[in-house]
Chains A and B, each alone.
Chain A
Amino acid sequence: MTLPYGKKLLEHFKHPHNVGVIKDADAKATEGSPACGDIVTLYLKVDEKTHKIKDIKFESYGCASNIATASVITDLVKGKTIEEAKAITWKKAADELGGLPPIKMHCSVLAVDTLRSAILNYEEIHGLIKDKKPTSRNEILDRIKHVMNPIRGEDIVKTGTVQDVIFEKGNVTVLLNLEEDNQFAANISEEIIEQLQSIWDIKKINIKFTI
């Protein structure tokens, strides 16, 4: 049998860990949308003194990789402090599952992003966040690095898919080294927008294809 998924991933898919809702959660976050095809919701219970994650549960509307990465992340962060949890990367989650097909790397990014959003939500609720600073071009680039090149399984900045990013007066223009009718053009554009639209001082996102 030659399914594209490893044994560990399939095990998490068949029997996901820490599934469900925490009714009295200290924080929660949902990332993704039906438009992007995957949605993950994470619930956290955090020890107020130690900032350790006491309990975590997830719900997923998504494919096998999505369910499995969300499941493995809940295992990875349980018992960790929120600072330790923030340091977990999508690559770590993918490695923990024995790797993901390149085209599925974005699923592990979504799971990690949801974890970070849930932690941010906790920090906001508990007054651990300082004032909003204007977003820099580098911070935008960092967000774009969460978009995967589906062929290579690495982020689109690293693979040179992003030619340039221009950020002026709330307008972001992302120049892509792609043809408009590239097989993945629509998907990559949607994912970039998904990454950037929640940044507070971005008003408009333009995606341009340079080939």
Chain B
Amino acid sequence: MDYIYLDNATITKLHKEVINKMITIIENKYALATSQFSHTMGLESKEAYEEARNIIARSIGAESENIIFTSGSTESNNLAIKGYAKASKGGNHLITTSVSERSVLNSMKTLKKEGFDITVLAVDSSGRIKPEELEKVINANTILISFELANHEVGTIENYRSIVNIAKKHNIAIHMDASYGYLEIPINVNELCVDLITLTAHRIHGPSGIGALYIKKGTDIKKLMDGGFNEMNLRAGNESIPLAVGFGRAVELFDKEMDVLHTAKLKKLLISQLNDKIKHISINGDPDNSLNNLLNVTFHKVEGESVALHFDMEGIEVITGSACFSKSLEPSYVLMALYNDHERAHGSITFSFSRYNTKNEILKTADVAKIIVDKLMEISPLKEKK
């Protein structure tokens, strides 16, 4: 079956050129430089690795020495939050939001058990921090605010500049999880005063299993894993040269036309098609200011896992915020935080696009959506009775 892959917010297909570059590295640059005075093969690998680091640094206006590689956004978030908290010599209060990614929320939970004071801020119905609420919870012991550049489930882009301004006014460090929105939303650390930024490769057609953490010069971080002195003594373990180089190449290949404008058109097309064909739908988050490749929709009165499974049986790959789909049997905590409405969460479907999707795929998806929703509505006890 030819699949229509619309789960690009979870992970994207590798770019062919990324694969080719990684294969070259796997075949040729397998040696590791264990010291700066290592053998030649090791030093050659190191050179390719450092070049990748430099590409990623430049993509946010940073220097190479400010970037460390990790295994992905989960590790970057853990290291940023726990590492910063544990290195802190000042206060012990950290702030995040109720719609942050699980690796952020669970890092905060762990810190709470260890005695840190944690505030999880409620957000508005688009998923953004309310600045006045943030101001209220800041106190003399606040050391870090962690938020997402764009929400991982509904794609709402945070008012990040105003959050950064508030933090700086109070001399509080900022961790920005940019694992969603990286490259689509240009970030330059020379003009946006952020201390820690989480980046990842797998949503920009790079490989899975590699991410990065930007650490502003002078920011103290305590390492979480014991071992050697890799990654500026912050992340022990062998460097993965192929993954890092693949990450670097994916950043180089990012193309505004294909990765932003094309996906924006697909999203717009799907919204208008769904609105035309299906009666009871809601677009979740902030449709006017959200990621161009992510659309979260609720099909009311029908349940999301059934919708997603029907899509799958037609070769269309999507995910849902329904409890039946989740590993914890709980509905999407993001949608619950936004709307406090179980039905809205259970009936939600995330469609996410990439440069590889086409207009025809979107038209087919909308047609199939109409058939599925009609079928499930027919058996739904929530439908309007004739």
With A35-B342, A37-B323, A62-B303 already in contact, the answer to whether A186 and B330 are too (CB < 8 A) is yes
Cα of A128 to Cα of B289 in the assembled complex, Å: 60
A13 within 8 A of B: yes
With A34-B343, A67-B379 already in contact, the answer to whether A61 and B301 are too (CB < 8 A) is yes
B177 within 8 A of A: no
Cα of A3 to Cα of B379 in the assembled complex, Å: 23
- Total inter-chain residue pairs, C-beta < 8 Å: 80
With A37-B331, A184-B328, A186-B330 already in contact, the answer to whether A19 and B379 are too (CB < 8 A) is yes
B313 within 8 A of A: yes
Question: In the complex, what's the smallest C-beta–C-beta distance from A114 to chain B, in angstroms?
Answer: 10
Determine which of B309, B327, B382 lies in contact with A13 in the assembled complex, contact meaning CB atoms within 8 Å: B309
Q: Is the interface of A mostly helix, strand, loop or mixed?
A: mixed
With A16-B379, A34-B343, A39-B382 already in contact, the answer to whether A63 and B305 are too (CB < 8 A) is yes
Task: Specify the chain A residue showing the minimal Cβ separation from B320.
Answer: A63
A194 within 8 A of B: no
Question: In the complex, what's the smallest C-beta–C-beta distance from A109 to chain B, in angstroms?
Answer: 13
With A35-B342, A37-B303, A64-B309 already in contact, the answer to whether A187 and B109 are too (CB < 8 A) is no
Residues of chain A at interface, number, CB under 8 A: 38
Residues of chain B at interface, number, CB under 8 A: 27
Determine which of B306, B322, B329 lies in contact with A187 in the assembled complex, contact meaning CB atoms within 8 Å: B329
Question: In the complex, what's the smallest C-beta–C-beta distance from B114 to chain A, in angstroms?
Answer: 14
- Contact: A103 with B329, CB < 8 Å? yes
Determine which of B109, B312, B327, B342 lies in contact with A37 in the assembled complex, contact meaning CB atoms within 8 Å: B342
Return 5 A-B CB contacts under 8 Å, by A number. A16-B379, A37-B342, A63-B306, A64-B309, A187-B328
Q: Contact residues of B with A, CB < 8 Å?
A: 109, 301-303, 305-306, 309, 312-313, 322-325, 327-331, 342-343, 346, 378-382, 385
Q: Contact residues of A with B, CB < 8 Å?
A: 3, 10, 13-14, 16, 19-21, 30, 33-41, 58-67, 103-104, 106-107, 150, 181, 183-184, 186-187
